[in-house]
Amino acid sequence: MSTEPTRPRTSVVVDTDTGIDDALALLWLAGREDVEIAAVTAVYGNCTVEDATRNVGATLAVAGLSIGEGGIPVSVGAAGPIDGRPAHFAAYVHGHDGLGDLGGDRPEVPVEPRTAAEQLVHLAASEPGQHHLLVLGPMTNVAAAIELDPDLLTKFASTVVMGGSGPFPPLGVAQIVDANIANDAAAARIVFAAPRTLLVTVGVNVGAGAIVDEAAVERLHASPTAVGRFSAQLLESYMDFYQQVWGRRVSPAWDGLAAALLVVPGWITRSEDGPVGLVPDGERWRAHLLRTAEGGPVPFEPATRPGQPAPDTRVVLEVDVEAFLADFLGVLAGDGRA
C-alpha cells in the first residue's frame, strides 16, 4: 500500500520505439510516484513497431503495470518514415528484438483500436493541457497526428523530444548520430514547425554527457527488485555496443534523460529558446538551433508551414547530471522499495 502523493501527478503520454534506453525511461517513469503514464504509443525505430509494442508490454510488466482495460492503453503507430521510405533498424545497437535479445518473455499485448496518431489527437483534444507528451523515437507518429490536428502540440502541457543536436558545434568538432531525427527528417520538420505550448529538445548534445557506468550497473545487479535486475541486464547489452563504438563500457541514458527533464525541468541548468531547423550533415539530417554568428535567431519559414515564422523551441544545453543520475539510478535500483 502506498499513500496518495501530496503533489499532483505529472501525466505523461509516451511515444516510443522501445529499445533499451526507452525501456529504462519507462521503468523510471513507472517508478516515480509523482508520475502517471497516461498512454503509450509505439513507433518503429530501434526495432519494428511490432517489437516496440511487445517491448512496451514486457517492460511495463516488469514494473508491475498492466496494459489495456483497467491499465495503460497502448496504441500501434507507424511502421516506417512518413514519406514512405523503408525503415532502418538498429539491430547492432538494441538487438534484433529491440531489448538486447535477452530471451525474456515478450507476449503480444492488447492494443487500442485507435492508431498511435489517432490516440495522440484523441488524448490532446479530450483533455487539453492535462498531459505532457514525451517523444522517444522517430517523430513519425507525432507528425501524422499533427497532420490530423495542426494544433495538436498546443493541447499538450509540454512536448519533450529526445532528439536534436543543439547549437552548431565549433568547426571540426565531431557530433554523435542523432538517430531519431535522421530516421525521419520529414516528420521532424513537421514537428519543429508546428504551433506548441512548449517544445523542448533533449538532444544528443546533452544526452551524451549523462552516462551510466559499470559501477551503476553493478548496483542494479544487486538490487532487491525485478526492475533493478532487468535494468542491469538491459544495460549490459547496451554497454556491449558502446564498448565497440566508444571504447569503454558505458551507457548514455538518452531517453531516460529526456523523461527525467520532462518530469523535473529543474534539472535543466541552461537552455536557449529559438527556431530549430533541419540541416543536412553528410547523408543524414540533424536538427540544429539556428543562430547567426552574433547569436541572434535565424528567422525562416518552415517549408511545412509557408508564411509562418518558425516557432521557438527550447533547446537544452546543460543538465545537472549528478542530480539526474542519482535519482534515475535510485528509482531503477528500487531504493527504499524492496
**Residues near Ca ion (CB under 5 A):** 17, 22, 136-137, 255
C-alpha pair distances (Å), 88 with each of 55, 151, 181, 237, 256 = 18, 29, 12, 20, 22
**CB of residue 21 vs Ca ion: minimum separation in angstroms?**
6
If you ran DSSP here, which 8-state letter would residue 305 be given? S
Grid coordinates belonging to 273: 529558446
**CB of residue 20 vs Ca ion: minimum separation in angstroms?**
9
**CB of residue 25 vs Ca ion: minimum separation in angstroms?**
8
Q: Which is nearer to Ca ion, 15 or 112 (CB)?
A: 15
**CB of residue 291 vs Ca ion: minimum separation in angstroms?**
27
Backbone phi, psi, residue 83, to 5°: -90, 10
**CB of residue 17 vs Ca ion: minimum separation in angstroms?**
5
Q: Which is nearer to Ca ion, 19 or 31 (CB)?
A: 19
Q: Which is nearer to Ca ion, 252 or 334 (CB)?
A: 252
C-alpha pair distances (Å), 195 with each of 41, 205, 261 = 21, 24, 21
Q: Which is nearer to Ca ion, 161 or 333 (CB)?
A: 161
Distance of alpha carbon 163 from alpha carbon 267, whole angstroms: 18
Residue 245: which H helix or E strand, with range?
A: helix 226-246
**CB of residue 70 vs Ca ion: minimum separation in angstroms?**
27
Q: Which is nearer to Ca ion, 137 or 207 (CB)?
A: 137
Q: Which is nearer to Ca ion, 16 or 313 (CB)?
A: 16
Distance of alpha carbon 84 from alpha carbon 97, whole angstroms: 23
Residue 138's contacts (CB-CB under 8 Å, 6 or more residues apart) are: 17, 43, 44, 45, 78, 81, 179, 180, 183, 184, 187, 188
**CB of residue 320 vs Ca ion: minimum separation in angstroms?**
22
Q: Which is nearer to Ca ion, 17 or 178 (CB)?
A: 17
Residue 173's contacts (CB-CB under 8 Å, 6 or more residues apart) are: none
Exposed, middle or buried by CB within 10 Å (0-12, 13-18, 19+), for 282?
exposed
